Structure 1
Amino acid sequence: MSLGAGSTTDYLTARGRDYPSIRQFTVFLENRVGQLLEVVKRFEGTGIRIVALSINDSAECALVRFLVSNPERGREILERAGLAIIESDLIGVQLPDDPQPLLQVCSALLQAEINIVQTYPLLMGQGARPAVAIMVDNTDLALDVLKSKGFRMLNEDDLSESL
């Protein structure tokens, strides 16, 4: 009997496109003129849209973090380009219609003692509600907490539908 024979676990669905988090890619680039453009141009004509972008630079290199509308194909494009990438899970949160929507999100996470590591806005399609991508120190707990507080969580399908 081979390992896994008769198993009822379908490994292909262990993490599907409806998984309640979204994937961020971090690319390390040399800090010189035109490097970001070279990465962004890789998506030209692919039908894949960059929906969030954050850059942290230093004298030597830059960390470019971004989310794309199709993470599977996006990863393939980056790997074919020979770029060193790191893939991470973030939470997509649609912001409530409130004068201080980030206050509500931050308060909910603080009450559960969840630390926010990074955050940046999502560039959603025309007419879509404002949303943010958030990296936290405990993704599963943060998802549960925010859902219980009535926040709408975004998944990777929402990113592809925002085109």
Structure 2
Amino acid sequence: MESDDGSGAATKFDTMRGRNYPALRQFTIFLENRVGQLLEVVRRFEGTGIRICALSINDAAECAFVRFLVNDADRGREILERSGLALIETDLIGVQLPEGPQPLLRVCTALLQAELNIIQTYPLIVRPLGKPAVAIMVENIEMAMETLIEKGFTIITEGDLDDNPTIDQ
């Protein structure tokens, strides 16, 4: 898959895992639903240069599902695995929200027109490229990526999360 970044040069999306789309990697961990558990996870990244770029917490009676994106997924996974935390890794699409009224409506409409179901979405804490963005899980990531690019949306890559100058290391 290729995208034109406006400079006339096509950007080729090939990942180290052999994928041809720039997916963001979400980690889901399960925590006991008690005071201080999230702090313990966040502290594991202290002093590593790894930043949490998006966060979503869904809680149940006994546990909480914590979903997050970090600026360096490979190193983030290593830290979590060394900590003994069970995790699930899932691919998401990062989409820069367009200017104007109802930007999320425009993203949802584009995906609806392609008959793609949105499974989950949440905002990024950081502003890649200086603009608001969301992380979206869909049924068919390749089709969603193609659709959004064709409709003129800017896709956020893991590199965009790492190059965010608005957050202190």
Q: TM-score range by the shorter chain?
A: 0.7 to 0.9
Counterparts of 1:13 and 1:114, CA distance in 2: 26
Q: Does 1:156 align with 2:127?
A: no
SS at match of 1:75: helix
Contact conserved, 1:52 with 1:68, CA < 8 A, in 2? yes
Higher relative contact order at CA 8 Å, sep ≥6: structure 1 or structure 2? 1
Displacement of 1:30 after TM fit? 0.8
Taking structure 1 as reference, are residues 72 and 19 closer, same or farther at Cα in structure 2, changes over 3 Å only?
A: farther
Matched residue, 2:3: none
Contact conserved, 1:55 with 1:65, CA < 8 A, in 2? yes
SS at match of 1:77: helix
Q: Does 1:112 align with 2:96?
A: no
The count of corresponding residues between Structure 1 and Structure 2 is 151
Matched residue, 1:92: 94
Contact conserved, 2:21 with 2:142, CA < 8 A, in 1? no
Structure with higher Rg: it is 1
Matched residue, 2:71: 69
Displacement of 1:70 after TM fit? 0.4
Letter of the 2:144 partner, please give it.
A
Contact conserved, 1:19 with 1:156, CA < 8 A, in 2? no
Counterparts of 1:14 and 1:85, CA distance in 2: 18
Structure 2 segments unaligned to the other structure (5+ residues)? 1-14
Give the percent of matched residue pairs that are identical in Structure 1 and Structure 2.
66
Counterparts of 1:51 and 1:145, CA distance in 2: 24
Post-superposition CA distance 1:4-37 (Å, at most 9, x none): xxxxxxxx93447x94110000001111110000
**RMSD of aligned Cα (Å):** 1.7
Could you list the structure 1 runs, at least 4 aligned residues long, displaced by more than 3 angstroms after superposition. 12-16
Counterparts of 1:71 and 1:119, CA distance in 2: 18
Displacement of 1:125 after TM fit? 4.4
Post-superposition CA distance 1:90-119 (Å, at most 9, x none): 000001001110010000000111000100
Q: Does 1:21 align with 2:33?
A: no
Post-superposition CA distance 1:42-99 (Å, at most 9, x none): 0000001000000000111000000000000000000000001000000000010011
Within-5 A mapping of 1:124-143: 124-125=126-127, 128-143=130-145
Counterparts of 1:70 and 1:47, CA distance in 2: 9
